[in-house]
Homo-oligomer: A and B are copies of this chain.
Amino acid sequence: MAQEMPGDTTQPPAEESPFGQTKYDDLWGRPGYLVRRLHQIHMGLFAEACDGLDLTAVQYAVLSVLYSGEAFDQLSLSKAVGIDRTSGADVIKRLVRRGLATREPSIEDRRARVVRITEAGRTFVRDVRPQMEAAQDKLVSPLSEEEHDIFMQLLRKMIEANNGHSRAPMK
């Protein structure tokens, strides 16, 4: 539970830095590092909110995409959620195991497996939605409404511009 604050002995004084310059010397000055930390925090918040439900944010995202009832092959589903195809297959496997989704061979394309949400899955999504929202709310709770909007805007700007550099680009 113990957490570290910025200046917390983690970083050496300036002269110890690899090049003696200022940019990105401190972990807390590295955007990628802070994004990783915030991602971990969100996962923690989500797990906390869904205490005992044994559900992850990614699993909920997959179920969210499936919620409409539309059928997806595994690759399209993974892309829609923005995860790697192999990760997606794993997530789907777990959802199927819990009876929240089905995965059956496609009739039109014999390579593909068709994934659909079950009624139990739809019910589950509805039941858990408040917890998902609580985790989101808590994550951004330190921000004003205006800051929240700016934050989302900046996130989207970075994601859209760099979309191709992730193994799992969206759409």
Binding site for B on A (CB under 8 A): 1-6, 8-13, 16-19, 23-24, 27-48, 57-58, 61, 64-65, 67-73, 75-77, 79-83, 106, 108-109, 112, 114, 116, 125-126, 129, 132-133, 135-136, 138-143, 147-148, 150-152, 154-170
Question: Which residue of B is nearest A5, CB measured?
Answer: B71
Q: Is the interface of A mostly helix, strand, loop or mixed?
A: helix
How far apart sit A138 and B159, CA to CA, in the bound complex (Å)? 11
This chain: copies in complex = 2
A50 shortest CB reach to chain B, Å:
10
Contact A135 B32 (CB under 8 A): yes
Selected from B34, B71, B108, B139, the residue in CB contact (under 8 A) with A32 is B139
